[in-house]
Amino acid sequence: MATLRTKREALVLVKEMTPENLEATVRRSSRNGLAPKRLQYSPEEETPKKKRKTKAVAVNGSQNKKPKDEEDAENSDVEHAPEGYGRLSAYELERLENIRQNQAFLSSINLFQATEEFKQLTRPKPSQRGLTRAHAAVKEVLPPRKSLRLQKKEAEILELPPEPRGTLIYEQSSPAKKPSGPLPMDPVNVEEGSKLPPQLLELCSEDVKEDKKILLDLKGYCSSMKINEDKVAKVVKDRIFSATFHPCTSSLLLAAGDKWGKVGLWKLGGDWGDDGVLLFQPHTRPVGCMAFSKSHPTQLLSLSYDGSLRCMDVEKAVFDDVYDIEDGLKTFDFMSHDCSTLVVGNWYGEVAIVDRRTPGNSHESLHTLDPKTLRCVNVHPLQKQYFVVAESKVVSIYDSRNLKKTKSQAVSQLHGHSLSISSAYFSPCTGNRVLTSCMDNNIRIYDTSTMTTKSPLLTTIRHDMQTGRWLTKLSAVWDPKQEDCFVVGSMMKPRRVQVFHESGQLQHSFMDSENLSTVLSVTAFHPTRNALLGGNASGRLHVFSD
């Protein structure tokens, strides 16, 4: 049993103490060697539940037969008064003793006191900044209803709707995919017909100097980066799948994409929309990947599982089509410094090299890699012909000049992953390292400086990746300002975001009892400023900055 570090942690523990997970807690504790003696049931019995079942069988056999009143006592979970002890078997005395020891153990860790002391405490209220309820819920006005019976009419004969055809049925009634062609950039959270705030274009067009990178000792600058209530806001409605900083430096401008294809733009301290948040709906299914164009920072490219890749252009105030397939886009990256060519990966294990200067999909080149396993593509920062692909259990580096329709030969491979790999990224300055996040609970760093057929593994870091059903998968991502540090969300309590050096050394844990109380699955550093973002499962962005 871990020591309780904060009041909230203790409260969570207490709140979670249902009979089911109390059992689990005791089991966990026993692995740590701290637990009291476990209840000792007879060998074939695992739990009290099972016990009852097996007992029913045992009654028929002659060996374990017990008087009926003793059985009732067990089932009622009420202990007999002391005079009853005389009739208890040795097994039951041991059971009572175990219960007593368990009680003593639970008292010794102050669980019961903690229950009393922290009963009133709740987790901090989520930030009310950003999107509001009024905008989030569209109220449907229905005419008053009167049943047919009250209207004294014959009942209608209703028929079941026809069985849906096709193989893909999404949860809820998923809205139809947006039509192709430019979509107007109309925010859904402000009054209809209102224009984009002109300051947004101004901010996006701001001259960005790459050489203004602030290189400080990481430990120093991490501890200067703080969060406060102004730096948390609801930017999209649902769970965040992707998020990024705009490269501008005079203000902090962020973008996030959610589960239902919404894209939110948030300027910290902005006076437009809801606390600086503008919400758009360019897609209809999760926005898996997004990035601002480095050569045209008024453009934000966003990719969705619905099969569309669009380019939000603040200048033209539209979402343009960039690339479109029926379904299942997964990931993309820029292949040239001018951001005109892209590598786009889909669920079917195909990568397409897309040139944005030729409209439509006609000029794309499509290459099938390992089918159904592609999860991430990332281009080498200097040698743009190389891109790294996270496949099922291997990461491959391909040369885009050397791709075939099928069975392309990888330039180099990174081995050692034992489960599926969620992401793989080249280090930002030299590309001499590749950082991978794997479902086997390891973050790995490989040496790709020589591009030999097998790139050597340098570092392995244990990290809990079991995010389960309700959270976006964790991905370790480099700090673009330097070569050798990366950030990753964490399941640990109290909730935190961690920064590691490529050597495996933990540099900093970003925590805040007031403003960070959820898992931040999606994380990213600002390209030039000392700022870090984290997105959670309810559409909130959190910023740590100077």
Interface residues with DNA (CB under 7 A)?
A: 15, 24, 122-123, 125-126, 133, 136-137, 171, 234, 239, 392-393, 418-420, 439, 466-471, 491, 495, 517-519, 536-540
Whole-angstrom CA distances from 400 to 237, 346, 519 are 38, 16, 37
One-character DSSP codes across 64-100:
T---HHHHHHHHHT-PPPGGGGGG--HHHHHHHHHHH
CB 494 within 8 A of CB 8: yes
Please tell me whether the peptide bond between 297 and the residue prior to it is cis, using omega within 30 degrees of 0: no
| Minimum CB distance to DNA, residue 393 (Å) | 6
* 181 versus 468: smaller Cβ distance to DNA: 468
Nearer to DNA, 364 or 440 (CB): 440
What's the helix, strand, coil split of the chain in %, to 5?
Answer: 20, 30, 55
CA atoms within 13 A on the CB side of 389: 32
Cβ density class 293-303: b for 16+ within 10 Å, e for less? beebbbbbbbb
Q: C-beta of 20: minimal distance to DNA in Å?
A: 10
- Is residue 416 within 8 Å of 394, Cβ to Cβ? no
Nearer to DNA, 321 or 512 (CB): 512
Q: Work out how close the CB of 285 gets to DNA at its nearest, in angstroms, rounded to a whole number.
A: 13
Q: Which is nearer to DNA, 302 or 472 (CB)?
A: 472
Q: How far is the CB of 260 from DNA (least distance, A)?
A: 12
CA distances from 186 to 272, 298, 310, 313, 316 (A): 13, 16, 15, 12, 12
Q: Answer yes or no: are the C-beta atoms of 421 and 446 closer than 8 Å.
A: no
Q: How far is the CB of 302 from DNA (least distance, A)?
A: 21
The secondary structure of residue 466, as a DSSP letter, is: -
Name the minimum Å distance from CB 159 to DNA: 26
Among residues 445 and 519, whose Cβ is nearest to DNA?
519
Q: How far is the CB of 116 from DNA (least distance, A)?
A: 15
Query: Of 96 and 136, which CB lies nearer to DNA in the complex structure?
Result: 136
Could you count the other beta carbons within 10 Å of the beta carbon of residue 52? 13
With respect to DNA, which residue has the nearer C-beta, 93 or 419?
419
